[in-house]
Structure 1
Amino acid sequence: MGLVLCLAALTACDGGSSTKDGQAGGQTAQPPMAAPSGASTAPKEVRGTGSLKGKVIVIDPGHNGGNAKHPEIINRQVSIGNGRKACDTTGTATAAGYSEAAFTWDVSTRLSKLLRAKGAKVVLTRNNNTGVGPCITERAAIGNRAKADAAISVHADGGPASGHGFHVIEPLTVKGHNASMVPASRKLGKALRDAYRKDTGMPYSTYIGTDALDSRDDLGGLNLSTVPKVFVETGNMRNPGDAAKLSSASFRQRIAESFVTGLIEYFR
């Protein structure tokens, strides 16, 4: 997920997953996309059985490919309910230069195809990987306006290279903003965690959280959401082993499939 940015290097400098906001920056009001294209693998049946017909799922691909070129937009401070934070960040990248923004966009387009095949209505918070943003505030607002049944913010971490594994970030209550969605978000987080671990084999994070769960109140996308939402840090891009997995198209397809399984379990 996005850290406070190192614009020149396209890597995070906000202290790894412990301080980043994991949503993308201030793209000028791009409309949410309900039917994206771009995943190279055709939809297939996934492990979870059941329909998602009638469910509204918001997918929030962290960051955006054009963020680094527009610091004047993404550095703008916005209110996150209990303080202020940059509109967005550039995100992190692997040592080979595969950006988090490109990764999250690929996973999200794969996921959107699978979810539509299950009958869900899908809304994305950005339309491509060439723009800027939208701000973390708008990302939350898109889910709220859609009255989403569930929202997933897709990320990869920029933690210490010695650490590996994935974790799910769940919301803490921010008074006057997100209290009503916290219990459901925690249920969603556990369902996605369990499915992700089982379907991908990625281990729990060795450097943050407990049993791959971390609770935070410094992320605008969670603080301002009124619908169930979590961030999934799918692995550590700064760790060579995790980076190799996240750079694999077949592994990214498995990630998308695991999210569908987790959502089906969440709605049971």
Structure 2
Amino acid sequence: MPAGQRVKIPLDMLSAEYLPEDTPERREFEEIQKKARELRTRTPKTRNLKGVVVVIDPGHGGTDPGTIDTPPVTLYEDEVVYDIACRLKALLETRSSARTYLTMLDESQQYAPVSTRKFVNDTDEYVLVTPKYHNANADRSLDLRWALANHWYRQERNAGTPSEKIVFLSIHCDSLDNTQVRGTSVYVPNAKKIGTIRTSNQGFRETKNVKPVTLSRAEAQTHEAMSRNFAAQIVAALKKSSPPIAILSHGDPIRNQIRREKGPFVPAVLKYNLIPTKVLVETGNIKSPGDQALMSDPAWRQRYAEALYTALCRYFE
């Protein structure tokens, strides 16, 4: 493309921060950025994560492996992210005073990290609702994850845990056909799209007798602002890892909606989640040869978990 050539980009393809200043979306973005700056000074400070509750959600599992790498297949999204989740759980339980919940259990692996470079899709993961649910249906599993997180949130709030000390962290791998795009992106809730926290009455103990919740505009903005602050700590910790862990190579790594051909959307585990501080982390592009090599390395998976642990510590420092 020659220098000086004009490029026309449809406005609906631009992130809010790049829209004209007089658009409602841009004004909303600026309001949330201001709120995020204010909230940084009000985040509860605690040593060694004392009193902090971390809900970890490793994506997919059971009969839903998530995305996979290029043939011959040795990387399954659910197996990779479950291993990172187990490593993070171990770090939190051995180095800090935080309490952890995991939405999933691999019955054969339990919560032990694995050192393999080539994964097998074992399909024995369950969502830990009561009774536990084998992931036979991906959509139902997805609903049960945020319903379970909401159950734990209510339980912790009833026990006196401040909402600001509860964090939700969903871990995934991205699947992008452009193999040149690689690195981590972090999704946060979109304040304009999380107004009603609906229920998921599916016959499990954790989904019974639950009423929907409607967030005010100010509450929805607070959810996005708090989540953006935590997401920024994740990005910073990944960059400071030794060696640094790659951040999304194209565009802003922190986003409040996923853009696909069918249109933008907010992941359900963020959209219907009562926990104010909540993020979905795409650890890398499983279709990218560079990210594939890293995901297969147990040492990299350990460094990734350590970066997430560091981000949690710094968020509450």
Q: Structures share a fold, TM > 0.5?
A: yes
Measure the CA separation in 1 of the matches of 2:291 and 2:226: 29
1:145 aligns with 151
1:239 aligns with 288
2:62 matched to 1:56?
A: no
**Deviation for aligned residue 1:191:** 0.9
2:168 matched to 1:168?
A: no
Measure the CA separation in 1 of the matches of 2:50 and 2:267: 30
1:215 aligns with 256
Structure 1-normalised TM-score? 0.68
User: Quick check: 1:53–1:119 contact (8 Å CA) kept in 2?
Assistant: yes
* DSSP 3-state at the match of 1:205: coil
1:204 aligns with 247
2:69 aligns with 94
1:1-268 to structure 2, matched below 5 A, reads 50-67=47-64, 90-95=65-70, 96-97=72-73, 98-117=75-94, 118-128=96-106, 130-131=124-125, 132-133=134-135, 135-147=141-153, 149-159=166-176, 160-173=178-191, 174-177=194-197, 179=220, 180-199=222-241, 201-207=244-250, 209-210=251-252, 212-216=253-257, 217-227=265-275, 228-268=277-317
**Deviation for aligned residue 1:56:** 0.8
Q: C-alpha deviations, 1:228-254, integer Å up to 9, x for none?
A: 110111111100011100110000000
Unaligned runs of 5+ in 1: 1-48, 68-89
CA RMSD in angstroms comes to: 1.9
Q: Which amino acid aligns with 1:223?
A: K
Q: Which amino acid aligns with 2:196?
A: G
Measure the CA separation in 2 of the matches of 1:93 and 1:254: 22
**Deviation for aligned residue 1:204:** 2.2
* DSSP 3-state at the match of 1:255: helix
Measure the CA separation in 2 of the matches of 1:181 and 1:141: 17
* DSSP 3-state at the match of 2:68: coil
1:73 aligns with none
Q: Which amino acid aligns with 1:176?
A: T
Q: C-alpha deviations, 1:136-185, integer Å up to 9, x for none?
A: 22211222222271011011111121211111111102223361522211
Sequence identity, in percent? 31
* DSSP 3-state at the match of 1:234: strand
Measure the CA separation in 2 of the matches of 1:169 and 1:222: 9
* DSSP 3-state at the match of 2:84: helix
User: Quick check: 1:55–1:149 contact (8 Å CA) kept in 2?
Assistant: yes
**Deviation for aligned residue 1:50:** 4.6
More helix by share: 2
**Deviation for aligned residue 1:127:** 1.0
Q: Which amino acid aligns with 1:64?
A: G
Structure 2-normalised TM-score? 0.58
Measure the CA separation in 2 of the matches of 1:141 and 1:187: 24
